[in-house]
Amino acid sequence: MGALTARPHEVHLRLSEEEYRVLERNRAKCRLSQQTYLRKMCLNEKPKEHPPVEFFQLLNILDKIKDELYRIAVIAEKIGQIDQAMYWQNIKKLDNQISDLFRQFY
């Protein structure tokens, strides 16, 4: 028992050069195999494009900034030199922005 029993139907498809280029371009953006991409399309699931490398670099930078702000806040609270409510409100905003960026792609 394996994939053949789960998917007993086989489909052969002929495409023009243009159709094939479009399929491959869209499939590559999602980093899916042809079979997985076409299955998703058959089920009316719009495959999401895989984010560019720069997206992950940006998330990493924002996360480091958040960590630094957190560290600064802990020190500032100890010496009482910061508007704590405002500072933590901005930390939360930054954290929400990072989460929103991540959710857009996943």
Q: Is residue 1 in a domain?
A: no
Residue by residue, pLDDT tens for the chain (106 residues) are 555 568 898 888 999 999 999 999 999 999 999 999 999 999 999 888 888 888 888 888 888 888 888 888 788 878 877 777 777 888 888 888 888 777 776 6
Domain that holds residue 87: 53-105
Q: Is residue 3 in a domain?
A: no
Check if the beta carbon of residue 39 is closer than 8 Å to that of residue 82: no
Q: Is residue 75 in a domain?
A: yes
Q: Is residue 91 in a domain?
A: yes
Q: How many domains are there within the chain?
A: 2
Q: Are residues 71 and 97 in the same domain?
A: yes
Q: Are residues 60 and 39 in the same domain?
A: no
pTM, two decimals, is 0.52
Q: Is residue 5 in a domain?
A: no
